[in-house]
Structure 1
Amino acid sequence: MPGRGWRGAAAIGAYVVGGFALVLALGLAAFPFGQFRSLIEQRLSARLGSPVTIAAIERREVFSFHPTITIRELRVPQPPWAGNGDMARIERADVTFPVLSAFLGGFRPTALTISGARLNLVRTRDKRKNWEREPRRRGDAGGRASLTRLVVRDMRISYRDAAQDRAVVLDVAADPVHGLRASGPGIVRGSAVRVSLAGAPLAGNDGRWPFRATIDGADLAMTAAGTMAHPLDTGEMTLDLETRARDLKMVDAIIEAGLFETHPVHLAAHVERRAAKWIVSDLTGTIGQSRIVGRVTVDKSGPRTGLDGEIHSDLLDFNDFSSPGSEAAARAEVRAHGPKLVPETRINIYKISHTDGRIAFRATRIVDGDKPSPLTNLSGAVTLDRRLLVVDPLRIGLRQGALAGRAVVDQRDGAKVPKVTLDLRITGSSIGALAGGGGSVTGRVDARAYLVGRGSTIREAVGASDGRIGLAARDGSLPHKIAAALGFDAGRALLANESQRAGLRCVVVGADVRGGVGKVDPFIVDTSESRLDGAGTISFPSERLAIRLTGAPKRGSVLRLPGSAELAGTIREPDVVVPKQVKSAGNIFKAIGRAITGDQGPRATDADCAGLAAKVLR
């Protein structure tokens, strides 16, 4: 019958396929790996970029689907750019693995015994690694280790990293009883440390695999204790981290997060790694006397690193975020050139080329060393998107009033120097609060600055900026003698009672800035007794003042000096210079003569304080 013929053919086909599969399985079970030593050398050489040699490859069992092979005298020379000698030399390695998965492209050893190994690992200043021919793809967390048994005897690993100025030499041992152990001396940024690592035995760890790693030194101490999802599976782990260091730059030598020099730090955090995502929670600690808590998530699963986090401080001292060396340099700068209003804060983000994200921040109390700060609190958020950094919102509380606005650092065009935009307002403050305490002059202060310029620091950007700055003080008071002096009335200034007060109608200063030089218009100090007008320039980044001052009283003067004065010096250290001809004996006699005749020139009128303030604060 036809059906019986087809069934017979199918049966014969099944026997043939089954027989072929059996022959293939028997072939794999007895595969002579030693005959493929040259091919294995070629494959390893191509992968490592250096000529690999193997003295012998032997199969321990004649027949097994889970064979153990012995590799003798494996040698990998250093690539020329990494130095002389060998990158790796292993006297003997016994590897057990499932043969079928190996032929299907998934070599996953289950047992490994290494005897007499020397590894010399090198990373150059440009982050080139001698153990990677090609950089690992972003988001690649590495494969899960499949080992259930690890034995290591007489193994030493030497690691030198020029990119982070760190090095370590580790003696490594492992066995089924004591687990994995490694320890040895190291150096981090010139400071000696001792590094140690301990992990549980691999066998019998069906659950999470516990480990502990420490770095112990005078300038850096770090402890990480936790568990991995599987032995040696760094792609899935949870750990508690604690560190003490002389500054954040030392910590950065280990974690490579782009941190900077600071005062000494003590930080602790809970860390989870889920493949390409790092979750840092329960971050607490101190930097100098500043206290911080927070969280951050780092996601490297895509082509760009993503950040999301928030930081809170109940005590913040900006001095803690600079090093003793930079503080000494800043003091030397002040001694040489005087104090500056605009900070020298570095804002160049050119090297942050593959990171985006958002970090919110808040500080509820700000101090300045051991004394109060004119700043009281701080809040805002930093957003980074392809080298466009935006601080918005930004709010800084003052002793009275607040500074608020936004700042933008734009390097999207790949320029080495960023374009910086500052759009800031001060509202509801006072002369006393901005001066750092009390004082004899009072008044409400509002201010506005809109500047756009290129620079790697805020000071440099302002020094090359275009835009406008303005300040208006209203409805205050000042000593009567100062008001008289502003009107160049030397007589009333000398005769005024110390307790007498005059009204401060307004102080209005505005400047159009071009190329870092602000042309002052207007410059008015209007009091109940006098009015002072000025014209000139404010130059950045030197903050040098060059303003000619003329004043007039609003009522009859006792002794009015003709002429003008110069406002020189800097914003933080102004200096009023009275020309010699103004204070000369001849000019004084001229003033006396005019006082006798009653011809002392026109009197000042009230300025349009509201209109002028609106103009400079727009």
Structure 2
Amino acid sequence: MAVFVVVIATFDWNRAKPMINERASAAIGRPFAINGDLSVQWQRQPGEGGWRAWVPWPRVIANDISVGNAPWAKAPHFATLKRGEFSLAPLPLLRQRVVIRRIQLTEPAADLERLADGRANWVFTLPETGEPSPWVLDINEIGFDKGRVGLVDEVLKADLTVLVDPLGKPVPFADVAGASFVPQDASAPPPRDYVFGWKVDGKFKGLATKGEGKVGGMLALQDASQPFPLQADVAIGGTRASVAGTLTDPVNLGALDLHLKLSGASMAQLYPLTGVTLPDTPPYSTDGHLVAKLQNPGGAVFDYKGFNGKVGNSDLHGDITFALGAPRPKLTGKLSSKLLRMADLGPLIGVPSGGGAQAATDKSKDAPAKPKGGKVLPTQAFRTDRWRDMDADVSLEAARIVHDSKLPLSNLSAHVVLQDGKLTVDPLRFGMAGGTMNATARLDGSGAPLTGRVEMHARRLRLKELFPATEAMQKTLGELNGDLAISGAGNSVAALLGTATGDVKMLVNDGVISRSLMEIAGLNVGNYVVSKLFGDDEVKINCGAADLAMKNGVMTPRVFVFDTENALINITGTANFKDETVDMDISPESKGFRIFSLRSPLYVRGTFGSPDVGVHVAPLAARGAGMVALGVLLTPAAGLLALIAPSTTDENACGPLLEEMRKPPKAPAPAKGK
């Protein structure tokens, strides 16, 4: 027995390395090697009671360990270890149990690689065995001083290096996550302490990535019921995420329960990271509670609850859910806002924000296309390819909306649905200028080109609130009412309007028009026309009525008249939205015995961007028969009468004009001498 003890104590364990390397290589299907010294030290364990304290434990120390890589991998080794040591309890071996109190690893390193075809070097081809092994492995603790993990992943377009270091002493979970953090599952055991710190540097999804954080101990990864503590502060491109919380069943990625802060230059930048289609917005930030069920049978579900955020200068609050499932992921949510700026809301309805990533990347392929050749209609293409990547059902309520500091909006209600490439906004409703605006939009991006239909209804918009800077308008009680219903096909606003077919109807009563009003509105053409018609005077408008027909992008007035205190103004011609040209005549007719200086009609010709305005050299045919011309507009006039709100008993100045237009036409008296 003494000889056996002496032999064991003095045995050169390096002689056993070839056998150990061979058997380990066969077990994992990869080359395994202890390249350095291998030794065994025998030590008694003072913590053991009774006679067991006299039984020495072998302490195994191995230096320079390596695990080979897959044949196609670039790195020479899958993993390396400068030094590994552990103590083995001998008595449990009699019961086929391998009990290791602690494994200490010195400078572990791993290089993970995955190809575009899905092959990954962390997937081992293990030899097939018949019956499961009767041996049980029990490791109490794993420790290491510092480690490194490299990841080159062609699927995720990632090239990252992660460095891990012990924290020195454990950090309580509440010290990092905060005392206010309330776990979603109250029955779960309390999270363990943070044990390791980590740093990451490199690229993810092709974007510069840098971050740091803390995690729990290695053994906490093995307990599926024990929440694993996780904390991270990471910047990926222009997006920054800060999380603190837990990961349940880390080995199988069971669930997440995190306090999440997210911010960035634009929500659109989240698309390459998450696959979630979001608009190009101004800078944003959010702070909320993220709960994720990663092993849900129908696909992972992410709930972002009770978040508070900002988009530009607008506040947002609410709950959103993102579910991964067939046939497409789906985003649902209910959002609210106290103050919403239209410049921030614009991207939700396809209007560029002018800020965020879009402004910073004007030279990129996603930058708004600028109209060419002096054209003015937006030519930025809708990203319909992204519409087919996911579905959505999101509603938004906002108490106050700022479009212009002098024209606030209120009580916004919007419901956006994206289903199989078809985008619906129904309703889009808000208060404006003392009245209401109701709109619906349906855009079908499932095919090419995109097809769309838009309907808008304006009711009882007060003119003095629409034009608060016009002093004369503040004396009026006039209102604007209107309807719009058009449909078209094309992948931009310009293309849709260039093919549009539908109707536009509008009534304005008891208003005022002047050169100064046109200047405030920025309408140079209107400024010239008003100057020629009325000079510098403010002129009262009894009624303005427009019934405009659109067909294949060409707008033609059925009715386009203004009844002023001095004259009746009739507008005819066309506006072509396909080539952005206008060809219209503006014909004034004096009323009664009032003196009206302009005797010839005006014309507006040319392009939307650079129109030419002037006075016809000679009067048009049939001058003096303006009211007769109105008589042939009986049917359109009947349609416009519906815009006079039936709920009000107030007199409407448009009523007499429309009734006059409905009367049968009368031929003018023959000219003398004819």
Q: Under TM normalisation by the shorter chain, which class is it? A: 0.5 to 0.7
Letter in 1 for 2:337: S
How far did 1:157 drift?
A: 3.0
Task: Tell me the alpha carbon deviations over residues 129-174 of structure 1, each in whole angstroms, 9 at most, x when there is no partner.
Answer: 553999xxxxxxxxxxx99755567643334678888753212357
Q: How many residues align?
A: 510
2:247 corresponds in structure 1 to 228
Match 2:548 to one of 496, 510, 514: 510
1:185 corresponds in structure 2 to 201
2:267 corresponds in structure 1 to 248
How far did 1:560 drift?
A: 5.2
1:76 corresponds in structure 2 to 70
Distance 1:533 1:86, change over 3 A: same
Distance in 2, Cα, partners of 1:450 & 1:147: 72
Distance 1:307 1:263, change over 3 A: closer
1:239 corresponds in structure 2 to 258
Task: Tell me the alpha carbon deviations over residues 280-302 of structure 1, each in whole angstroms, 9 at most, x when there is no partner.
Answer: 01111212211111211112254
Distance in 1, Cα, partners of 2:321 & 2:104: 38
**CA contact 1:194–1:216 (8 Å) conserved in 2:** yes
Letter in 1 for 2:80: E
**CA contact 1:278–1:297 (8 Å) conserved in 2:** yes
Distance in 1, Cα, partners of 2:555 & 2:76: 61
Distance in 1, Cα, partners of 2:122 & 2:495: 41
2:310 corresponds in structure 1 to 286
Query: Is 2:78 aligned against 1:54?
Result: no
How far did 1:557 drift?
A: 4.8
Distance in 1, Cα, partners of 2:494 & 2:532: 43
Match 1:578 to one of 611, 614, 631: 614
Match 2:443 to one of 395, 402, 409: 409
1:363-402 alignment, distance < 5 Å: 363-368=398-403, 371-373=405-407, 375-402=409-436
How far did 1:235 drift?
A: 2.4
Alpha carbon RMSD of aligned pairs, Å? Answer: 5.0
**CA contact 1:261–1:322 (8 Å) conserved in 2:** no
Letter in 2 for 1:359: V
Gapped regions of structure 2 (runs ≥ 5): 1-19, 35-59, 87-100, 124-137, 171-194, 295-299, 345-352, 518-525, 644-674
2:593 corresponds in structure 1 to 556
Distance in 2, Cα, partners of 1:538 & 1:169: 61
1:101 corresponds in structure 2 to none
1:529 corresponds in structure 2 to 566
How far did 1:504 drift?
A: 1.4
How far did 1:259 drift?
A: 3.5
How far did 1:315 drift?
A: 1.6
Distance in 2, Cα, partners of 1:325 & 1:203: 43
Match 2:485 to one of 438, 446, 450: 450
2:120 corresponds in structure 1 to 131
Task: Tell me the alpha carbon deviations over residues 515-569 of structure 1, each in whole angstroms, 9 at most, x when there is no partner.
Answer: x222222222223432222222122266543212222112135365443211347
**CA contact 2:499–2:551 (8 Å) conserved in 1:** no
Query: Is 2:235 aligned against 1:198?
Result: no
1:260-279 alignment, distance < 5 Å: 260-275=279-294, 276-279=300-303
Distance in 2, Cα, partners of 1:239 & 1:355: 24
Task: Tell me the alpha carbon deviations over residues 575-605 of structure 1, each in whole angstroms, 9 at most, x when there is no partner.
Answer: 67223625xxxx9xxxxxxxxxxx9845646
2:149 corresponds in structure 1 to 157
**CA contact 1:549–1:566 (8 Å) conserved in 2:** yes
2:79 corresponds in structure 1 to 90
Distance in 1, Cα, partners of 2:144 & 2:532: 95
Distance in 2, Cα, partners of 1:439 & 1:337: 34
Distance in 2, Cα, partners of 1:440 & 1:338: 34
Query: Is 2:234 aligned against 1:215?
Result: yes
Q: Secondary structure at the match of 2:495?
A: helix
Distance 1:560 1:162, change over 3 A: farther
Letter in 1 for 2:490: G
Distance in 1, Cα, partners of 2:402 & 2:27: 68
**CA contact 2:322–2:330 (8 Å) conserved in 1:** yes
1:307-326 alignment, distance < 5 Å: 307-320=331-344, 321-323=353-355, 326=358
**CA contact 2:22–2:32 (8 Å) conserved in 1:** no
Distance in 2, Cα, partners of 1:491 & 1:460: 34
Q: Secondary structure at the match of 2:636?
A: helix
**CA contact 2:504–2:546 (8 Å) conserved in 1:** no
Q: State TM-score, norm by structure 2.
A: 0.62
How far did 1:393 drift?
A: 1.5
**CA contact 1:156–1:169 (8 Å) conserved in 2:** yes
Q: Secondary structure at the match of 2:70?
A: strand
Distance 1:457 1:283, change over 3 A: farther
Distance in 2, Cα, partners of 1:411 & 1:365: 31
Distance in 2, Cα, partners of 1:481 & 1:194: 56
2:163 corresponds in structure 1 to 171
Distance in 1, Cα, partners of 2:568 & 2:232: 72
Distance in 2, Cα, partners of 1:564 & 1:75: 86
How far did 1:279 drift?
A: 0.7
**CA contact 1:489–1:553 (8 Å) conserved in 2:** no
Q: Secondary structure at the match of 1:86?
A: coil
Task: Tell me the alpha carbon deviations over residues 36-83 of structure 1, each in whole angstroms, 9 at most, x when there is no partner.
Answer: 956964xxxxxxxxxxx43469xxxxxxxxxx9x9952202557xxxx
Distance in 2, Cα, partners of 1:317 & 1:380: 14
1:519 corresponds in structure 2 to 556
**CA contact 1:490–1:559 (8 Å) conserved in 2:** no
Distance 1:269 1:393, change over 3 A: same
Distance in 1, Cα, partners of 2:76 & 2:395: 45
**CA contact 2:205–2:273 (8 Å) conserved in 1:** no
Letter in 2 for 1:296: I
**CA contact 2:266–2:357 (8 Å) conserved in 1:** no
Letter in 2 for 1:552: E
Distance 1:423 1:167, change over 3 A: farther
Match 1:472 to one of 480, 498, 507: 507
**CA contact 2:204–2:236 (8 Å) conserved in 1:** no
Task: Tell me the alpha carbon deviations over residues 3-35 of structure 1, each in whole angstroms, 9 at most, x when there is no partner.
Answer: xxxxxxxxxxxxxxxxxxxxxxxxxxxxx9966
Q: Secondary structure at the match of 1:460?
A: helix
Q: Secondary structure at the match of 1:364?
A: strand
Query: Is 2:573 aligned against 1:566?
Result: no
How far did 1:401 drift?
A: 2.1
How far did 1:119 drift?
A: 2.0
Gapped regions of structure 1 (runs ≥ 5): 1-31, 42-52, 58-67, 80-84, 97-109, 135-145, 588-598
**CA contact 1:409–1:419 (8 Å) conserved in 2:** yes
Q: Secondary structure at the match of 2:31?
A: strand
Letter in 2 for 1:210: P
Distance in 2, Cα, partners of 1:162 & 1:350: 23
Q: Secondary structure at the match of 1:351?
A: helix
Q: State TM-score, norm by structure 1.
A: 0.67
Distance in 1, Cα, partners of 2:327 & 2:247: 25
